[in-house]
Chains A and B, each alone.
Chain A
Amino acid sequence: MLRVVLIQDLAITRGERRLFSHLDLTLRAGEAAALVGRNGAGKTSLLRAVAGLLRPAEGTVSFEGETGPIEAETARAEHLHLLGHQDGLKSSRTAWEELRFQALWTGGSEASAQAAAKRFDLTRLLDLEVRRLSAGQRRRLALARLAASPRSLWLLDEPMAPLDAGQRAAFGAVMAEHLAAGGMILASVHDPLPIPARSVEVGA
């Protein structure tokens, strides 16, 4: 389980363009940070850099667990969830097939996938093909992965954009629970998160 995420002097360049530099951020167990900034400021790139998918131009991202530093490779394989705009759901498969795969692939079980489906009010939809889901239902299916497998760091890119008010509140409760259990959340947002979160300006 991760206890600390340490981002030091991070700079990200896409092509010729420097998105931001000298970004420092420390996230501890139970904390959430909301990344704010204009479109194209580099919020998504920052999340991908923390997930280890994108090589930063400068600076480091390091992780600490209960017993000391954790290798970035291990953190990526076992301790973090990244949920981007593209949710990786295959439209020809049923919701249950996709949720089950995502849960098993990220270290959960069938039972935890079932529980997550219930939590996100998806039980009625599990037999449907993903292509038949609405944008909000699709997003809930993608979010259910977070609850279906226990990983401590959640990297969320605009997690609530397609959700209605009721679902936003429900997802807020899930996030609060995750933080209470010692989890961490780093989310890029335009609307405020429904949980107490530090605001971090990207690309100012």
Chain B
Amino acid sequence: MKAFGVLLRRELALAWGRGGGPLLALTFYACVVVLLPMASGRAPERLAAIAPGIAWLALALAALLSLERLFERDYEDGTLDLLALGPAPLEAVAVAKCLAQWLATGAPLALAAPVAALMLGADLKVMPLLVLCALAGGLAFAFLGGLGAALALGGKRGGLLVAVIVLPLFAPPVIFGAGALDGFSAGLPWTGGLMLLLAYCAGAVALSPLAMGAACRNALD
């Protein structure tokens, strides 16, 4: 457990250092907020309608961008050997890496999401739900993206492979979260979508480390 804490702190520092943190989240959303009206037209009601969906899209894309090399660097520079010879199993190592990635990039993005949605004219009352969905969705993205990154280890064109593996896994949380947000804005039942999102997130966090550990072991062989 102590070793896990040591590893988590190191991974957090690394994730923060390689371009994570609040600054990245804010810049990323700034790009979205500035470019979206140019791309889709600037009618306020149209922007307001798609704002929560865009916040989701941005979250998923940001996760894909930063997660692709989650294990690759460690594999190339020998860190993965060292991590495999530590007191914690590779499954726990994978949890620490994904968790650190989420804390350094996913959580700041989730907290910045309402700012972006607000600038696009989304309704204020939907914000708490948006943050909750983005936090849970971001956690699921981090673990599923980590799974893709681990499976693509050592392969040529790993980045392409990650996108192909991860795409179908990213679809359900986006659908559940967007469903909850849509229902909430329209005054329809929305808790079902949220529950499904949280359940999906819990499943991803619980199961993907097993696959990541096996994939890393396989890559080291």
Interface residues of A (CB under 8 A from B): 48, 51, 53-55, 76-78, 80-82, 84-90, 92-93, 97, 101-102, 104-107
A106 adjacent to B81 (CB under 8 Å): no
- A-B CB pair tally, cutoff 8 Å: 69
B14 adjacent to A77 (CB under 8 Å): no
In the bound complex, CA of A86 to CA of B80 (Å): 10
Q: Mark B71-99, 1 if CB is under 8 A from A, else 0.
A: 00010111111111111000000000000
CB distance from A81 to the nearest CB of B (A): 7
A88 adjacent to B18 (CB under 8 Å): no
B77 adjacent to A86 (CB under 8 Å): yes
B85 adjacent to A76 (CB under 8 Å): yes
CB distance from B57 to the nearest CB of A (A): 30
Residue of B nearest to A89 (CB): B77
Which of B13, B78, B80: most chain A Cβ within 10 A? B78
B206 at the A interface (CB under 8 A): no
CB distance from A184 to the nearest CB of B (A): 16
B78 adjacent to A88 (CB under 8 Å): yes
Residue of A nearest to B82 (CB): A88
In the bound complex, CA of A90 to CA of B10 (Å): 11
In the bound complex, CA of A3 to CA of B6 (Å): 29
Number of B interface residues in the complex (CB < 8 A): 24
CB distance from A31 to the nearest CB of B (A): 21
CB distance from B84 to the nearest CB of A (A): 6
What residues of B have a CB within 8 angstroms of the CB of A84 in the complex? 78, 81
In the bound complex, CA of A154 to CA of B83 (Å): 16
In the bound complex, CA of A51 to CA of B80 (Å): 13
What residues of A have a CB within 8 angstroms of the CB of B86 in the complex? 77, 105-106
B85 adjacent to A101 (CB under 8 Å): no
B17 at the A interface (CB under 8 A): yes
CB distance from A50 to the nearest CB of B (A): 11
Residue of B nearest to A49 (CB): B221
What residues of B have a CB within 8 angstroms of the CB of A101 in the complex? 6-7, 10
CB distance from B24 to the nearest CB of A (A): 16
CB distance from B221 to the nearest CB of A (A): 5
Given A76-B85, A93-B13, A54-B220 contact (CB < 8 Å): yes
CB distance from A108 to the nearest CB of B (A): 11
What residues of A have a CB within 8 angstroms of the CB of B79 in the complex? 88, 90
**Cβ contact of B81, chosen from A82, A97, A107, cutoff 8 A:** A82
B199 at the A interface (CB under 8 A): no
Known: A78-B87, A92-B18, A105-B83; 9 extra A-B contacts, CB below 8 A, are A82-B85, A86-B77, A88-B80, A89-B77, A92-B17, A97-B10, A105-B82, A106-B82, A106-B86
The 10 A-B residue pairs whose C-beta atoms are closest, nearest first, are A86-B78, A88-B79, A88-B78, A88-B82, A104-B6, A105-B86, A53-B220, A101-B10, A77-B87, A54-B221
Given A54-B221, A90-B77, A102-B87 contact (CB < 8 Å): no
B6 adjacent to A88 (CB under 8 Å): no
**24 CB-based A-B contacts, threshold 8 Å:** A48-B81, A48-B220, A53-B85, A53-B220, A53-B221, A54-B221, A78-B87, A81-B85, A82-B82, A84-B78, A84-B81, A87-B78, A88-B80, A90-B14, A92-B14, A92-B18, A93-B13, A97-B10, A101-B10, A104-B6, A105-B3, A105-B86, A106-B85, A106-B86
Residue of A nearest to B14 (CB): A90
